[in-house]
Structure 1
């Protein structure tokens, strides 16, 4: 009897899992359910090349429509799953139908965190950026000379600021915390990007909150905690994302900052796997939830291997990137919990890397326009090798020579 695997979600994790399953278990029946009308697509370019008009919607696609047909994938788009009945192994869909499964994979991703209702007050012209529809709506607002207020100094907020400046907009960015990138990067990395954005004309304000937004019905004015009142044309909220784990929660699966999975991407129900931004997993002594293309790819492949009967769990080595203006930030590892930072200058002007240590162990590297340090950092982290701080700080010392050592 042919087993049917149903995948909920249309992102990177889903497409990676499908491609791997077709290699490992080619006869398995696969149904993909997505609540958006588009086949699985890339999300990182939405805040970069797509929003800036450099990419068309076709280029976002992870696979062409012909691929799904040739691989025999049953795609159901523009329909959402309203409930998972674990006892009967059935899904209840928004179009009133039900769908049975032998195995279920949750690739539901994450949702942009909205502004509190007390602040947004239902005003029009307030946006988040997570999907194609969000980016398309924002495009209609991005007319030269208009004033955008960006709330949040994380990577999404900073990336949108860069695109907005390139598009000729006046940009004000406010961050409620003491500095930008406070949750994800060291002060040294924040210093670089603060200076970069201010040099490009961004009015960047830290330790500043939006006390009130007003307008009728479209947002027109922002009252800031520093006493300033700004006339604005639209607002973009970049205040983080939350795991889209509602279905799993309602179905009684274990939730811990996302859907809790093991190294095999198994949830607390052996018939249900999960992969990508919606999941959390143990890394070292910490449970992490990572919003990362690389993590989505690797977890999708791990889920496929589990479906095919593999008993070898996988450990993931995270990496990320961010493009702002002509600057590329590449991140290896996870800096959470670091207790020391070492800056390494690079030969190229404007390039440097920030190295994070925890209990004298290398855990992460931020490489700014410095791909060589990024690659070396990844190799060292994967090998469990930590250079001495003085070696890191010395640009003449060839760190790459240490990458062949074992921990």
Structure 2
């Protein structure tokens, strides 16, 4: 049986897609590149924002028409599956099975039941060992960086966030399991890993997250370690010290702020003030100047005033984030923020988002311009140049690099090379091979 997996969302979803692909491949199924070639299409979904949900239902509509033309099995997994569960069958009756985020290893059973003719197969249960997925089963995509889950779920209770519903409470992999997986990845040729979790720096799998970074960095042959995502309340001085001092930890930190207004942060139940967020950034000391910092912003949260948004803009300028991910507030089912009055016109929300993103673009360009003329190590992320003749690479600071290597030159995929930065834009750095 040929299968195709479509994935939306974060790195955790990407890695779930690799796990699901491995489970099907172990059953003798064959992965194909498109839904049109497949006999089984699995939609690996995200539900953190309404837009992501709309994309899933749009694809389900297309697959309904496809299913009328030929035999086709359709399954839904991921956060939307965990959130909606049986309600998915009511909105899209042509779905054959629904698989929750905490039941990934049940996929072969659900497929077998659907193949046997059972209708509306579903498992959205919580399995206590679901976070202990065997790495040997994972079917990894052809990428220069390997994803490694260290913790799943979140114990925070942000009023806008559906993650505690879709991913559950925190579960932590023992550090020995994490180290064994990283060693195996290095043996397979990977030189960079990204440690994943809804809140990685709350890690408690037998050591602290700072300790885990130190232990992973001792794996011989590993060059860079990244991690995402961090909660400011769990960002410690020890973690800052490792981030600054350990040369294998990439000089990049994503630390979501969400709002520059204490009043809005309180309504979000983020558990910190702006001053406390800035205090944690201060833990980085002089090392802050040597790394890139990105964040998240939610614009137009219920009750956000002009003064609240202006406070966000002031923090944006004060910190001068190298990059940010910003979105208009998206109400999610079952979250406490639904009880808050949300009467801000969409036109105002959109105008605020545009203003923030325009200013961020200026800050990102300024950040990128600081690289002009510098020689930096970058990792090759493609097997060949694109149509414009650039090789795509990535710096330790998570800067996208368009690298000129010269005609006929082959570069080593997944390896570090030296590059001299010659161009800076808000979106990428241009560089030439040294």
Decide: shared fold, TM above 0.5.
no
**TM value normalised by structure 1:** 0.29
Greater per-residue strand proportion: 1
TM-score w.r.t. the length of structure 2 is 0.27
Higher relative CO (Cα under 8 Å, sequence separation at least 6) belongs to 1
Give the helix-richer structure, 1 or 2. Answer: 2
